[in-house]
Amino acid sequence: MTLVQQPEMHPQRWGDPARAAALPASARGLVELAFGPLAETPAVDPAATPPPPSGLPPALLADLRSRLGAEHVLADDETRRLRTRGKSTPDLLRARAGDLADAPDAVVRPGSHDDVAAVLAWAVEHHVAVVPFGGGTSVTGGLVARREGYAGLVSLDLVRMKRLVTVDRESMTATLEPGLRGPEAEALLAAEGLTLGHFPQSFEHATIGGFAATRSSGQGSAGYGRFDAMVVGLRVATPRGEWRLGSSPANAAGPDLRQLVLGSEGAFGVLTEVTVRVRRAPVEKVHEGWRWPSFAAGADAMRAVVQAGLQPTVLRLSDEHETAINLARPDAIGASEPGCLMIVGFEGEPDAVAARQAAVAALLGSLGGTPLGREQGEAWAHGRFDAPYLRDAMLDVGVLVETMETATWWSRRQEVYDAVRAALVGSLGDGAIVLCHVSHVYETGCSLYFTVAARAGDDPLAQWQEAKAAASDVMTAAGATITHHHAVGTDHKPWLVREIGELGGSVLRAVKADLDPTGVLNPGVLVP
Does some domain include residue 407?
A: yes
The torsion angles phi and psi of 488, rounded to 5 degrees, stand at -95, -50
**Amino acid, single-letter form, for residue 19:** R
- The pLDDT assigned to 96 comes to 96
Do residue 230 and residue 301 come from a single domain? no
Looking at residue 341, which CATH number applies to its domain? 3.30.70.3450
Provide the β-strand partners of residue 317: 342, 438
pTM of the entire predicted model: 0.95
Tell me the sheet residues that pair with 450.
404, 436
Domain boundary among 132, 157, 182: 157
| Cβ(450)–Cβ(472) below 8 Å | no
Residues 349 and 415 in one domain: no
Beta pairing partners, 176: 164, 274
Q: Are residues 311 and 404 in the same domain?
A: no
Residue from 236, 238, 212 nearest 515 by CA: 238
In this structure, are 304 and 353 located in the same domain?
Answer: yes
Instruction: From residue 140, give the alpha-carbon distance in Å to each of 265, 487, 488, 490.
Output: 11, 7, 6, 6
**Is residue 94, in this structure, part of any structural domain at all?**
yes
Helices within 36-181 (DSSP H only) = 58-68, 77-82, 89-96, 113-126
Tell me the CB-side half-sphere exposure of residue 13, using CA atoms within 13 A: 25
Q: DSSP readout, 344-374?
A: EEEEESHHHHHHHHHHHHHHHHHTT-EEEEH
Q: Are residues 215 and 266 in the same domain?
A: yes
Q: Which residues contact 327 (CB under 8 A, 6 or more apart)?
A: 318, 333, 387, 435, 451
> Catalytic: 442?
no
Q: Are residues 192 and 270 in the same domain?
A: yes
Burial of 193 per CB tally in 10 Å (0-12, 13-18, 19+): exposed
Task: State the Cα–Cα distance between residues 302 and 300, nearest whole angstrom.
Answer: 5
What residues make up the domain containing 442? 387-491
Domain identity same for 329 and 259: no
Give the β-pairing of 399-409 and 340-348: unpaired
Nearest one of 486, 456, 474 to 416, comparing CA atoms: 474
Angle at the Cα of 455 from the Cα atoms of 401 and 42, rounded to 5 degrees = 75
CATH number at residue 84: 3.30.43.10
* Residue 180 shares a structural domain with residue 269: yes
Q: Is residue 178 part of a domain?
A: yes
Q: For residue 307, what are the contacts with CB-CB under 8 A and spacing of at least 6? A: 443
Residues 179 and 241 in one domain: yes
In-domain check, residue 26: no
DSSP string, 445-468: EEEEEEEEEEE--SSHHHHHHHHH
Helix 295-307 × helix 350-366 angle, to 10°: 130
Residue 439 resides in a domain: yes
Same structural domain, 268 and 288: no
In this prediction, the residues of the chain whose per-residue pLDDT falls under 70 are 327-337
Q: Answer yes or no: is 391 within a domain.
A: yes
Question: Where residue 451 sits, what CATH number does that domain have?
Answer: 3.30.300.330
Instruction: Assess if residue 497 is contained within a domain.
Output: no
Q: Rounded to an integer, what distance in angstroms lies between the CA atom of residue 416 and that of residue 476? A: 10
Rounded distance between C-alpha atoms, residue 13 and residue 299, angstroms: 33
Structural domain total, the chain = 4
Looking at the structure, do residues 175 and 275 belong to the same domain, yes or no? yes
Residues 6+ apart with CB under 8 A from 383: 329, 330, 331
Residue 172 lies in a domain: yes
290 DSSP assignment: E
Query: DSSP readout, 26-45?
Result: HHHHHHHHHH-S----PPPP
Residue at which a domain ends, from 329, 356, 382: 382
Residue 196 pLDDT: 98
The CATH number covering residue 275 comes to 3.30.465.10
Task: Single out the residue in 221, 245, 280 at which a domain terminates.
Answer: 280
d(CA 265, CA 490): 11
378 and 405 in a single domain? The answer is: no
Q: Would you put residue 196 in left (φ > 0), alpha (ψ -120 to 50) or beta? A: alpha
Q: Which of 150, 224, 417, 449 is catalytic?
A: 449
Ramachandran quadrant class, 277 (left: phi over 0; alpha: psi -120 to 50; beta: rest): beta
Residue pair 83/132 in contact (Cβ under 8 Å)? The answer is no
